[in-house]
Amino acid sequence: MASSLGRNSTNTATPTKATFAYWLKGADDGTAQGIWGWHRGNDASNYWLGVYFSTNGSMYFNWKQGGNYATIRGTTQKFRDNQAWGQHVITIDTTLATAEDRVKWFYNGERITSFEDSSYTVAENATITNWSNSSDKLEIGTFYQSSTAKDLSTNSSITGFHFCDGYAYEASSFGSFNSTTGIWVGNPSPSVSYGSQGEYIKFEDSSNLGLDSSGNTNNMAVSGSLTQNLDNPSNNFCTLNGQTKFRVNTVSTYDLMKYGNNELAPTSNSQIVYTQGTIGVTSGKWYWEAQPYSGVGFGVGICYANMQTNTNAQFWDNSTLMGAAVTLTGAGNLGFNGKSGETYNTSFSFTQATQTLCFALDMDNNALYVGIDGVWQNSGNPTSGASRTGSFLAYLASDQAYTNSGQPVFPFVGDVETGNIAKTRINFGQGVFGLTPLTGTTYTDGNSEGKFKYTVPTGYYTLNTKNLKEFG
């Protein structure tokens, strides 16, 4: 079953003008993914309108109603960055004399003008019946074409969904370029009208994700299971980097990133798979949590940017040190691997799938601390400063045996042992492990950022863009 939001139409909409605006963090994953769409439940083969990812990284705007207006428009632009938020604005005004202007598509404030099909047209004054017929349904997170559903990947996130019924707004109504950085910044409270059928879904209320904030009370119902996290366009959180997966043993089976790129789930036991976080740091103090939930041979810790060039499976090898990690081997021992002399060969107790690893990275004092369920191992004290009491690693940027000095340090997750499939979920402060949100008592950092299962040490912060600017 698709996990989506849905609502049936009425027959009171204005069928020649509309605007759809929303933020999307996601990219193609080799499958056709529906982002949003209208469809007619009793005739889905002839009536649909919406947007979806193709299998080649393009996005498609697709509209068909009763065989009268069959249109498909695919972007030549490829959308493959699954670490950044981007705002899409699609403006429909069939009353315009210029055919190319009847459907406009903007991405982060810039109009998309290059498409795969040059013959695309929408008839002047065409009546779009999709949102003016009570048999039609709008869904966010899926798109029906020819009675077949395309579902949004669990690796993608969407927020700030506007549908303006009867109004054709362009991107400038929903955001602007920052005068200093040149970055497109969204407006969370745009001065727009929504008409009778319109809605504004903020996804802010975890108990009612389909709450309409337009004033129309056009609330949407949840189908399946939707998960809210704290990642948003104004404050981008660290995730695992789906673009830098590194396979020591390359095989045809694709290694998977799942659930907003916060889970590494390899599919083959004949490959060693590494990936790093999307945010690296050279200063400051940072905290995150991990749950290795399946299989032995996982590694969770830190790495350097040049990890990708290393051909040694044991990336903590003295001569080519790329990082350090907590590992669970096939022998069932949980230990810590780093530079010789800082390798903890004595295993420590860890119950996989029920316990949580905690990481406190102190870049100001060159130390890494490891905890289990909020208890710092080796009698560690992340707040000890230069004394680095109980740190598992105390050389980060000063060791003479390697050339990583000055490089940013990244969170690391890997399946580091052939013959096994090890799967690990990370919470960088989004408040979820996989698709499971944290419940009960949760904790934020000293900047009231993040949502964690265990107490964040004093002076340590969530890896997100807001904290990076303030404390990095």
Please report where in the chains the tokens 């207006």 appear, as a residue. Answer: 69
pLDDT band at 357 (very low <50, low <70, confident <90, very high): very high
- Decide which of 216 and 3 is more confident: 216
Q: Where are the domains of the chain?
A: 4-223, 246-471
The stretch 434-438 carries a mean pLDDT of 86
Share of the chain above pLDDT 90, in %: 35
Q: Is the pLDDT of residue 356 over 80?
A: yes
Q: Is the pLDDT of residue 218 over 90?
A: yes
| Same fold? 4-223, 246-471 | yes
- Decide which of 343 and 176 is more confident: 176
pLDDT of amino acid 374: 96
The CA distance from 456 to 31, in Å, is 38
> Which tens digits make up the pLDDT trace of 104-129?
999 999 999 999 876 777 888 888 87
Q: Which class is 246-471 in CATH?
A: mainly beta
Pairing of strands 157-165, 17-25: antiparallel
Per the structure block, which two tokens stand in for 247?
Answer: 């396979």
The stretch 163-183 carries a mean pLDDT of 93
Per the structure block, which two tokens stand in for 253?
Answer: 């089976």
- Decide which of 390 and 90 is more confident: 90
pTM of the full predicted structure? 0.85
pLDDT of amino acid 402: 41
Which of 148-157, 246-255, 441-450 is predicted least confidently? 246-255
The CA distance from 461 to 223, in Å, is 35
pLDDT of amino acid 250: 53
Q: What Rg value do the Cα atoms of the chain yield, rounded? A: 24
pLDDT band at 319 (very low <50, low <70, confident <90, very high): very low
Q: Is the pLDDT of residue 46 over 80?
A: no
The CA distance from 63 to 449, in Å, is 41
The stretch 180-204 carries a mean pLDDT of 91
pLDDT of amino acid 113: 92
pLDDT of amino acid 322: 58
pLDDT of amino acid 121: 75
- Decide which of 305 and 379 is more confident: 379
Whether 218 contacts 199, CB under 8 Å? yes
Which of 81-85, 173-177, 213-217, 447-451 is predicted least confidently? 81-85
pLDDT band at 27 (very low <50, low <70, confident <90, very high): low
Per the structure block, which two tokens stand in for 277?
Answer: 């976080």
DSSP sequence for 325-373: EEEE-TTS-EEEE-STTS-B-S-----TTT--EEEEEETTTTEEEEEET
453: how many CB neighbours lie within 10 A of its CB? 19
Q: Is the pLDDT of residue 313 over 60?
A: no
Please report where in the chains the tokens 């889905």 appear, as a residue. Answer: 44
Of 37, 34, 43, 33, nearest to 6 by C-alpha is 37
pLDDT of amino acid 400: 35
User: Exposed, middle or buried, 125 (CB in 10 Å: 0-12/13-18/19+)?
Assistant: exposed
> Which tens digits make up the pLDDT trace of 388-430?
898 877 555 444 334 455 678 889 888 776 677 788 899 999 9
Q: Is the pLDDT of residue 274 over 80?
A: no
Q: Which H or E run includes 334?
A: strand 334-337
CA distances from 353 to 111, 290, 334, 373, 465 (A): 47, 10, 14, 12, 30
Q: What is the mean pLDDT of the chain?
A: 81
pLDDT of amino acid 78: 87
Whether 230 contacts 451, CB under 8 Å? yes
DSSP secondary structure letter of residue 15: T
- Decide which of 295 and 293 is more confident: 293
Whether 389 contacts 245, CB under 8 Å? no
SS3 375: strand
In this structure, what is the dihedral angle of CA atoms 55, 276, 299, 258, given to the nearest 10 degrees?
A: -30
Q: Is the pLDDT of residue 276 over 80?
A: yes
Assign domain 4-223 one CATH number from 1.20.120.80, 2.40.50.420, 2.60.120.200, 3.40.50.12660.
Answer: 2.60.120.200
DSSP secondary structure letter of residue 281: B
The stretch 49-60 carries a mean pLDDT of 86
pLDDT band at 331 (very low <50, low <70, confident <90, very high): low
